Amino acid sequence: MPDNLSYPDVATLASPVYLLLLVLELLLMRMNLLRAHYETRDSAASLAMGVGYVITGLFSGLLIGGGISAIMFWVYDHRLFDIGTSVWAIVACFLIDDMRYYWAHRFMHRIRWLWASHVVHHSSQHFNFATALRQPWTGAIMGLFVLKLPLAFLGFHPAILIFASSLNLLYQFWIHTESIRRMPAWFEAVMNTPSHHRVHHGSNPRYLDCNYAGTLIIWDKLFGTFVPEQDDDPVRFGLVRDLGTFNPLRIAFHEFVGIAKDQAQRGLCLRDRFLYLFGPPGWSHDGSRDGTDKIKAAFLRRHPEQAGTPGLPPATGAGMPVMARELADAAGGQ
């Protein structure tokens, strides 16, 4: 099989379509024909992040793209099977790579080093087609390409892997909108949709760390991270603690600055330094910060009637031991 096999980068080639749809959504919003929210400075920041994403992608491709490609092809040269490049091989690769994307995305939310890059995409307080273009400038250095190596070892050609990822990114553009409330029930059951992805971008306690899917929502349902959108709990977009800036440089690097400040603290043991880098976002050595578990536990202390509803654990029992323990401690202290 030729090493020079190539497929179009459909996600990048579709850039003019992205901009056209963005303008169309904005115009229809102005005409009160669509439900959407745009704010000029926020949208400008998103577009600046998108332009920076393309530029840094080109530079990273020149600097480290060759090395990553060499690793991919070395693994592929030692593949288990000759899967080939048929249409069915591409379909199979897309499905398996979509599951790979699910886990990569989940890691991005649970490992601070990865979150430092991915947080950029969640930093807007709006959810529209401009938000879809708000992408990090540091993705190439995160090391997530290693998650594709098992697929190359299985026998999928690196070019097909890149093509599958490009198709996945292309699909995800249209789900960044408030204009579409719900798709048909059968579609909502299988595919990632605007409703499911709104939940993923929510900062409400019940919506934290869920709906990681790229194209197929079945992975969230299979691995226990699916939360449906609740009409009685409208999604609040953005971060738990919003940045309060439209400066692209601060948006791009603020979490890396935070990591550096944490590492500069005196008196930390090796474990503390490791967890400030690879622990979950919100972890702190003295317990002074709130991660997802603490945020949900605090919400349930204020609203105990919500325990066990979508996205929130039961007040007692198995499921999320940290949260259950916090709730029990709170109840005992009253």
State the pLDDT at residue 319. 43
Three-class SS of residue 107? Answer: helix
For residue 200, give the nearest of 220, 223, 179 by alpha carbon.
Answer: 220
Neighbouring C-beta atoms of residue 329, cutoff 10 Å = 10
**What element of type H or E holds 63?**
none
Q: Which two tokens stand for residue 146?
A: 């290693």
Give CA 217 to chain center in angstroms: 13
DSSP string, 208-254: SS----SSBTHHHHHHT------TTSPPPBS-SS------HHHHHHH
Type of residue numbered 114: L
State the pLDDT at residue 270. 97
Dihedral, CA of residue 152, residue 153, residue 155 and residue 161, to nearest 10? -10
State the pLDDT at residue 6. 81
State the pLDDT at residue 1. 54
State the pLDDT at residue 316. 63
Question: DSSP code of 286?
Answer: T
Taking a C-beta distance cutoff of 8 angstroms, is the pair 1, 89 a contact? Answer: no
Q: Which two tokens stand for residue 12?
A: 């990048």
If 0-12 CB within 10 Å is exposed, 13-18 middle and 19+ buried, where does residue 268 land? middle
Q: Tens digit of pLDDT per residue, the chain (334 long)?
A: 556 688 888 998 999 999 999 999 999 999 999 989 999 999 999 999 999 999 999 999 999 999 999 999 999 999 999 999 999 999 999 999 999 999 999 999 999 999 999 999 999 999 999 999 999 999 999 999 999 999 999 999 999 999 999 999 999 999 999 999 999 999 999 999 999 999 999 999 999 999 999 999 999 999 999 999 999 999 999 999 999 999 999 999 999 999 999 999 999 999 999 999 999 999 999 999 999 999 999 999 999 999 999 999 997 644 444 444 444 444 344 3
State the pLDDT at residue 99. 99
Type of residue numbered 216: L
**CA-CA-CA-CA torsion sign (318, 320, 322, 326):** negative
State the pLDDT at residue 330. 40
Domain boundaries, given as residue ranges, for the chain? 10-223, 270-332
**CB contact set of 29 (below 8 Å; sequence gap of 6+):** 35, 36, 37, 38, 179
Type of residue numbered 248: P
Question: DSSP code of 19?
Answer: H
